[in-house]
Amino acid sequence: MLLDWRIVYTGGVFISLFLFIILISKRQKSTADKILTAWFFFAVIHQLLIGWYAFNGMSDMPVLIGWELPFPFLHGPFLYLYILFLTGQQRRESHDILHFLPALLSAIILAPVLPSMSVQEKLGASPSAYAPLFEWMVRGIIVSGLVYVILSLVLLYRHRLNVALQFSNTDKITLNWLRYLIGGMGAIWIVVIFLPSASSLYVVVTLFIFFIGYFGIRQVGIFSNPPPAHEVYLPAVVQPVETAPALETVVVSPEKVKYEKSGLTDTEANRIHTSLTTLMQERQCYKDAGLTLGDLAKTLDIHPAILSQVINSKEGKSFYDYINVLRVEAFKQLLLQPVSQRYTLLSLAFECGFNSKTSFNRNFKKITRLSPSSYLKEMNICIQEED
């Protein structure tokens, strides 16, 4: 009778295969989708090899023993590259294929070694001259796994900063999918280091697959085609004004040094700011809860880094704060209209572009120094606060 952990592991293999089939049949795959598909392809093969060990199938095909070693070198790079492309942090000149060099080198090293070893040597039942090689390879696998988990965490941190720079509402932008991927991989390496038993590894890998399958299917766009997104740019394109990249070479006078890095003159900045103010007054773009810096830059037909710089210098605010100040001011004006008394406080907030109660309360208090309810009392306005 099969042990419980073997039954669980078998389920994990089938779940991996199922997710791979979903990914490969997904239409309009992005580069990140293709990386995730390739990752699941190799993950299925790796799981099958480990399962083959779990069910003591080595005697049937002893030639396969040892060939599971290159696969752990793949998971870290796949995790890193998937997050890199999913968050738009890749660079054109990057040599991504080099991340898979350790896996390739380990396979090249094993190619002449494994055929020269007996089955007993491969299983560790008898001494082998290649034992130090395998010990160093296992250490290399652990180092590789930990390094790529750390690098992935760095990418996630940078992505959080990018979201704050470009989006006017961040409450409903979830980074949980990336956190689950990184956390799951980290948990696997912790088990490998501190609980180096086959059953523990099989169970944690299977739980990770179940976990990723469940949350990946729940998150729109991972295993299905995502809805049309707002205009978003790479983190390298949009930066705070202090580190904005040079966009063109223009000679500027000393009094205009604050625009020196982007080549933007004070006259041009004033023109853009005037156009932005007019646009907000006439079209009230801030009422779009999903508005991004890219959307606004596209409407004004300017580079997003330039628009970010103008908002920083002329308004003294980030894009996020600038839009939410406009929303709060619109909300305050809406409160003065008698017809608004028919609606709840939250419905009025949504009308002004906020997308959650938490976001509305936080930004309102940050800007006015009062909570919405305190402001209503101070202004002697009677509005329903809850639905």
**Per-residue pLDDT tens digits for 27-85:** 878 888 889 899 989 988 888 887 777 666 666 677 788 888 899 999 999 999 999 88
**Per-residue pLDDT tens digits for 193-206:** 887 776 677 777 77
58 and 206 share one domain = yes
Strand-pair partners of 292: 167
242 and 109 share one domain = no
Tokens, residue 322? 């600038």
Give the model's pLDDT for residue 351: 92
Does pLDDT of 290 surpass 60? yes
Residue range 315-329: average pLDDT? 92
Q: How far apart, in whole angstroms, are the C-alpha atoms of residue 346 and residue 384?
A: 9
**Per-residue pLDDT tens digits for 125-177:** 778 888 888 889 989 999 999 999 999 999 998 888 877 778 887 766 667 78
Tokens, residue 104? 């390739």
**Per-residue pLDDT tens digits for 338-361:** 887 888 888 999 999 998 888 899
When the pLDDT of each residue in the chain is averaged and rounded to a whole number, the result is 80
91 and 127 share one domain = yes
CA distance from start to end of the chain: 57
112 and 257 share one domain = no
Give the model's pLDDT for residue 4: 62
State the residue range of the domain holding 274: 230-316
Whether 109 and 67 have beta carbons less than 8 Å apart is answered as no
Q: How far apart, in whole angstroms, are the C-alpha atoms of residue 176 and residue 216?
A: 10
295 and 342 share one domain = no
Q: What percent of the chain has pLDDT over 70?
A: 80
Q: Is 309 exposed, middle or buried (0-12, 13-18, 19+ CB in 10 A)?
A: buried
User: Any idea what the CATH number is for the domain that residue 96 is in?
Assistant: 1.20.1070.10
DSSP 135-176: HHHHHHHHHHHHHHHHHHHHHHHHHHHHHHHHBS--TT---H
Q: Collapsing DSSP states into helix, strand and coil, what is residue 344?
A: strand
| Domain's final residue, options 290, 316, 342 | 316
Whether 279 and 300 have beta carbons less than 8 Å apart is answered as yes
209 and 107 share one domain = yes
Give the model's pLDDT for residue 239: 52
**Per-residue pLDDT tens digits for 212-259:** 777 776 665 566 665 555 555 555 445 544 433 333 323 333 334 344
188 and 288 share one domain = no
Whether 382 and 375 have beta carbons less than 8 Å apart is answered as no
164 and 278 share one domain = no
Q: Please check whether residue 201 lies inside any domain of the structure.
A: yes
Q: How far apart, in whole angstroms, are the C-alpha atoms of residue 127 and residue 342?
A: 84
| pLDDT confidence tier of residue 211, bands split at 50, 70 and 90 | confident
Give the residue with greater pLDDT, 151 vs 305. Answer: 151
Element (H, E) at 37: helix 31-54
Q: Please check whether residue 171 lies inside any domain of the structure.
A: yes
Does pLDDT of 1 surpass 70? no
**Per-residue pLDDT tens digits for 86-110:** 887 877 656 888 999 999 999 999 9
Give the model's pLDDT for residue 276: 94
Give the model's pLDDT for residue 327: 94
pTM of the entire structure?
0.74
Give the model's pLDDT for residue 31: 86
Whether 212 and 187 have beta carbons less than 8 Å apart is answered as no
**Cβ contacts of 154 within 8 Å, gap of 6 or more:** none
**Cβ contacts of 35 within 8 Å, gap of 6 or more:** 78, 81, 82, 85
Q: How far apart, in whole angstroms, are the C-alpha atoms of residue 387 and residue 347?
A: 9
User: Any idea what the CATH number is for the domain that residue 327 is in?
Assistant: 1.10.10
The total domain count for the chain is 3
Element (H, E) at 213: helix 198-218
266 and 300 share one domain = yes
Give the model's pLDDT for residue 271: 93
78 and 201 share one domain = yes
CA dihedral 203, 207, 213, 215 (to 10 degrees): -170
Give the model's pLDDT for residue 218: 65
Contacts 24+ apart (CB under 8 A), 45-51: 45/71, 46/71, 46/72, 46/74, 46/75, 47/9, 47/12, 47/13, 47/16, 47/205, 47/209, 48/13, 50/9, 50/201, 50/202, 50/205, 51/9, 51/10, 51/13
| Domain's final residue, options 183, 218, 253 | 218
Q: How far apart, in whole angstroms, are the C-alpha atoms of residue 102 and residue 36?
A: 19
Q: Please check whether residue 22 lies inside any domain of the structure.
A: yes
Residue range 304-331: average pLDDT? 91
Q: Please check whether residue 32 lies inside any domain of the structure.
A: yes
| Domain's final residue, options 168, 194, 218 | 218
CA distances from 208 to 12, 183, 203, 335 (A): 9, 9, 9, 49
Q: Please check whether residue 185 lies inside any domain of the structure.
A: yes
278 and 344 share one domain = no
Q: Please check whether residue 296 lies inside any domain of the structure.
A: yes
Q: Please check whether residue 223 lies inside any domain of the structure.
A: no
Q: Please check whether residue 225 lies inside any domain of the structure.
A: no
91 and 116 share one domain = yes
Does pLDDT of 318 surpass 70? yes
Does pLDDT of 26 surpass 50? yes
